[in-house]
Structure 1
Amino acid sequence: MPENARTTVVVVTWRGVAHITACLDALAAQERPHRTLVVDNASDDGTARLIAEHPAKPEVLRLPRNLGYAGAIDAALRVVETPLMAWLNDDAVPSPDWLTRLEDALGPAAAAGSRLEDAEGGVQSLGVRLTPDGHGADTTRLPAFGFCGGAVLLRTDVLREIGGIPADFFCYYEDTDTSWRLRLAGHDLVAVPDARVTHLHGASSRPGSPAFHRWNERNRLLMLMRCAPAAIALRETARFMAITALLPFRENVPDAPNFRVRLRCRVLAEILLRLPATLRARRGITRRSTVGRHDVWRNWARACD
């Protein structure tokens, strides 16, 4: 690791053989010294060999099983020694000045988010907004409620102080949950539109798949139980339950996995199983908070992008 490196860039991969080389090449070309740590979620497609043979020789933390993005970031947080920690998707290709822009713009804030673009330069995300029903959604308008976890710089000590990563989320909503907890703890988050990253959205997952919808529906409700005002968490959980109960009696039900009763029942079962730990986490978040839940909700829950 370079002696003057302030940041460890954590790249999470799972079966990333088709795209991780471009990510590692871009990190090797960064202007700013840094440490690169690849967390391999037990890939079985040749990714491990590809990483080992890459000229940049990144450090590797190979997990015994796939813990998802959230679990891998949590594992990395346990070993990161630099004051700053960046999260980067393995299907993301940062510009050479990406880390420089983030480090220079961070200032006293706890996190600095990036500008994610598609291959044609169109903006995918400048951060995450919070909708009135408690969804986290990519936004192209600033200021943003939170950061997109595909490319972000955070203060390592602050991340640990607010309780780390919700590893049990597996993937999706770990960024919105973390952003929410940072807001509750009184920290600022900044967006850095000139910290540019080209992102192959969905290369490592399958947006629209049953697993995608299961994680999204489950983790949104778990996040609300952890971070939102109690009335909002109860309202949205009750709404999810009511829709689930009424689906068998509805006509013209959308043909999407999140409208399948079996999937929704599984979501509810998983939430019930996690409820004791979620309530303990909520109490811990409350102890660390300096800003009221209602204040964060009132300031950031917005109906449109």
Structure 2
Amino acid sequence: MLEQAPAPEAAGRLAQVTVLVIAFNSAAVLPGCLAALPRGVRLVVVDNASTDDSAAIAEAAGAEVIRLPGNLGFGRAANLGFARAETPFGLLLNPDTRAAPGMVEALLEAAARYPEAALLAPRIETEEGELQFGRLPVLLRHRGRARPVPPVGDCCAPYVGGAAMFFRLEVFRALGGFDPEIFLYYEDDDICMRLRAAGHALVHVEAARLLHGNARSSAPSAAVSFGKEWHMAWSRQHMLRKHRGAWRAAAAGGLLMAELAGKLALRWGHPQRGKWSARLAGTAAAMAGRRAVEVAIR
């Protein structure tokens, strides 16, 4: 069962939050994620047709489990989970995260301090102690850009990572939630860009702490690795078309495909050939108009 027991006054505040975890063959990391959360929040796990014990682990931890018959992907599963939430706030977590004590309470306190913030995020650190902060949305990045100075307190940010996103659900729903065309990757970039375009602030909350295991949400396999690279490429091309227009997307996609095809033709035996092949296929599929949601990871 969940282990953190809040004080009575804190329990009332925590009842304002639905914590949503999206699982896909996440049995190795899900127990730690769920055990770190406080009692008092509504805990929901959307299981994307896992073949391991993810759903059973979530039920044993006291979570409400939504078992899907197939893998909907990350953003669409999150939309489904939050559609059932009756709380004003929703915290979306990767299953390979572990909340520090007091994290949810700190996010609630920050939401009260910053009413203009529609999306808040904790201070996210890797197991090696590296701060995950300062990344720009994919369409705003430039090669050679200096790494931002780590914050010493709360601050506004152009992007907060999908590992932990604390939404005002009224704004999340008004915006339409995550882009349902994206199966995996860059759905966080997209919603951050859309929130900012709508005039909302994104806030990094220093007092809220979270440990992120980095790409351990699903059990590894060759098929999953290929699928992730395919969807990363598809989603990037989709983002270009959506936010930069068809002509710029076509030009960028054509150049990338030529680069990847050249690498595959010239670098036999290179350990990255599988990644290049997947990204070439994903980019080509996006440019041909194929929908990502038709290519689920299983």
Q: Which range, TM-score by smaller chain?
A: 0.7 to 0.9
Q: Measured at CA, do residues 218 and 39 of structure 1 come closer, stay the same or move farther in structure 2, by a change above 3 Å?
A: same
- Partner residue in 2 for 1:70: 75
Poorly superposed stretches of 4+, deviation over 3 Å: 130-135, 137-144, 205-208, 228-235, 244-255
Say whether 1:44 aligns with 2:51.
yes
- Partner residue in 1 for 2:257: 241
Give the Cα separation in 1 of the matches to 2:280 and 2:121.
32
Over the aligned positions, Cα root-mean-square deviation in angstroms equals 3.1
Give the Cα separation in 1 of the matches to 2:281 and 2:206.
40
19, 25, 28: which one aligns with 1:15? 25
The DSSP-based 3-state class of the residue aligned with 2:36 is helix
- Partner residue in 1 for 2:5: none
CA deviations on 1:264-302 (whole Å, 9 max, x unpaired) are 134312442248x9xxxxxxxxxxxxxxxxxxxxxxxxx
CA deviations on 1:65-89 (whole Å, 9 max, x unpaired) are 1222222112112212211111101
- Partner residue in 2 for 1:162: 175
- Partner residue in 2 for 1:114: 122
Say whether 1:86 aligns with 2:91.
yes
> What is the identity, as a one-letter code, of the residue corresponding to 1:114?
P
Flag structure 1 segments of 5+ consecutive residues without an equivalent: 278-305
- Partner residue in 2 for 1:186: 199
Deviation at 1:132, TM superposition (A): 6.3
Give the Cα separation in 2 of the matches to 1:185 and 1:91.
31
Give the Cα separation in 1 of the matches to 2:194 and 2:226.
28
Is the CA contact (8 Å cut-off) linking 1:39 and 1:72 kept in structure 2?
yes
189, 200, 205: which one aligns with 1:176? 189
Is the CA contact (8 Å cut-off) linking 1:172 and 1:215 kept in structure 2?
yes
Q: Measured at CA, do residues 268 and 25 of structure 1 come closer, stay the same or move farther in structure 2, by a change above 3 Å?
A: same
Deviation at 1:259, TM superposition (A): 2.5
Q: Which segment is superposed worse, 123-132 or 65-74?
A: 123-132
The DSSP-based 3-state class of the residue aligned with 2:106 is helix
Is the CA contact (8 Å cut-off) linking 2:75 and 2:178 kept in structure 1?
yes
TM-score normalised per structure 1:
0.76
> What is the identity, as a one-letter code, of the residue corresponding to 2:108?
E
Say whether 1:217 aligns with 2:230.
no
Q: Measured at CA, do residues 232 and 158 of structure 1 come closer, stay the same or move farther in structure 2, by a change above 3 Å?
A: farther
TM-score normalised per structure 2:
0.77
Flag structure 2 segments of 5+ consecutive residues without an equivalent: 1-10, 294-298
Is the CA contact (8 Å cut-off) linking 2:139 and 2:240 kept in structure 1?
no
Q: Measured at CA, do residues 216 and 266 of structure 1 come closer, stay the same or move farther in structure 2, by a change above 3 Å?
A: closer
Say whether 1:259 aligns with 2:273.
no
- Partner residue in 1 for 2:108: 103
Is the CA contact (8 Å cut-off) linking 2:94 and 2:164 kept in structure 1?
yes
Deviation at 1:34, TM superposition (A): 2.1
Give the Cα separation in 1 of the matches to 2:232 and 2:96.
20
Q: Measured at CA, do residues 3 and 50 of structure 1 come closer, stay the same or move farther in structure 2, by a change above 3 Å?
A: same
- Partner residue in 1 for 2:64: 59
Give the Cα separation in 1 of the matches to 2:85 and 2:243.
26
Q: Measured at CA, do residues 50 and 6 of structure 1 come closer, stay the same or move farther in structure 2, by a change above 3 Å?
A: same
> What is the identity, as a one-letter code, of the residue corresponding to 1:81?
E
Give the Cα separation in 1 of the matches to 2:150 and 2:178.
26
